[in-house]
Amino acid sequence: MAKNLVIVESPAKAKTIEKFLGKSFKVASSFGHIADLPSNELGVDVDGDFKPKYIIPSDKKKLVRELKALAKNADMVWLASDEDREGEAIAWHLSEALDLKEAQTKRIVFHEITKTAILKAIENPRQIDYNLVNAQQARRVLDRLVGYQLSPVLWKK
């Protein structure tokens, strides 16, 4: 079993990156977001602090179980989603859903899929940027509040 697990968003990226890193690395894909607000309710606590209620959709549960098993057997998990607020939220959701320990989790980013860029990213890990996570959550909550309240009105028109 590989000592390192790298999780990227795209399965195509995963195959390419795994070739660069060697046998001590397993590269897997989250296939984008693994958690979202529920589709059948508002999913935001408007009476409290507007905290979002994230769920793992049924079509992602098997994937999350598989990633969790891979993470459990790895010494280090490298979260390598994109370097934007969506990517940062994906890294955070992975960290939460897979029950990753901070000491065994690193966040890496790269801007090109080359061996040099990937190795440089691994040499320069960081923690999850919660400012970006919070920015994504604020955007998602606003989208939901406006969309959930406005969509029925628009459908009637």
Q: Is the whole-model pTM more than 0.85?
A: yes
Structure tokens, 148: 């959930």
How confident is the prediction along the chain (157 residues), in pLDDT tens digits per residue?
A: 569 999 999 999 999 999 999 899 999 999 999 999 998 899 999 998 899 999 999 999 999 999 999 999 999 999 999 999 999 999 999 999 999 999 999 999 999 999 999 999 999 999 999 999 999 999 999 999 888 777 666 667 6
Residues with Cβ < 8 Å from 117, sequence gap 6 or more?
A: 110, 111
Length of the chain: 157
Give the chain's domains with CATH numbers. 4-156 (3.40.50.140)
Strands (DSSP E) contained in the chain are 4-8, 25-29, 76-79, 105-107
Residue found under tokens 């440089």: 120
List the one residue out of 7, 72, 6, 4 whose CA is nearest residue 34.
Answer: 7
